[in-house]
Amino acid sequence: MLNIDLTGLTAVVTGGSRGIGRGITFALADCGADVAIIYAHSSEAALGVKDEVKKKGKRSLALKCDVSHEEDVVRTLENVNNEFGRIDILVNNAGINRDTLILRMTPENWDEVIETNLKGTFLMTKHATKYMMQNKFGRIINISSIVGITGNVGQANYVASKAGIIGLTKTTAIEYASRNITANAIAPGFIETDMTKKLPDRVRGEFLKRVLRRRVGTPEDIANVVAFLVSPLASYLTGTVIVVDGGLSLG
């Protein structure tokens, strides 16, 4: 367990049922926060994570929500606030990919990724901050990606969404600074998730050659940074982008 106390705070984690989001949910619960798990498809996985959080002695909700639809976002956050009485932490982690070269990428491929990854982050931020302003406190963490900084072949839509998240994070930090709301982004590298497990062994091997730490990252590697950023230890950090890639971008 991290030596961070988030007791009395409520966190909302989008994409919280699997991969990085699951790791973040458990880390925040271990630190004492109640957690609302926002998911899009896998209700079984979300309910499993919810049960695990309750075993840790914390309150939890699992709520299905399409973060690209404003009505869904408004309704979901209202439910969280009604259940827990407050929203203090928002982790925008929900994301999808539809990889292909620009030459073959359809407008539908582009729109679907931008709608979920970037518009979803915008909508959750817009409506969660209304509750944060009521309490004069808020911590927003946006999960970007190292490719949002470096670019990557075959991922123009994904890269654009993750680069956009970095710009959105900085603007959010500026606009909400006077309300005691901070906003920071994390740019993960090659992390072991359902998305990366689908990569061919050859591609995984090429990535690992470039990772200075010579291992794939884990969801816990990201979750630990999230826990730090939402804690009092990071109260002076806002508008930052923390790269967590094991040295991939330097390899």
* Residues labelled as active-site residues: 158
Largest CA distance in the chain: 51
**Owner of token pair 């630990």:** 224
For the sheet with 60-64, list strands across it: 60-64, 34-39, 10-14, 89-92, 138-143, 181-188, 241-244
Q: How many residues does the chain have?
A: 251
How far apart are the C-alpha atoms of 236 and 101, rounded to whole Å? 40
The string over 157-188, giving b where at least 16 C-beta atoms fall within 10 Å of a residue's C-beta and e elsewhere, is bbbbbbbbbbebbbebbeebeeeebbbbbbbb
Closest C-alpha among 111, 113, 163, 114 to residue 142: 163
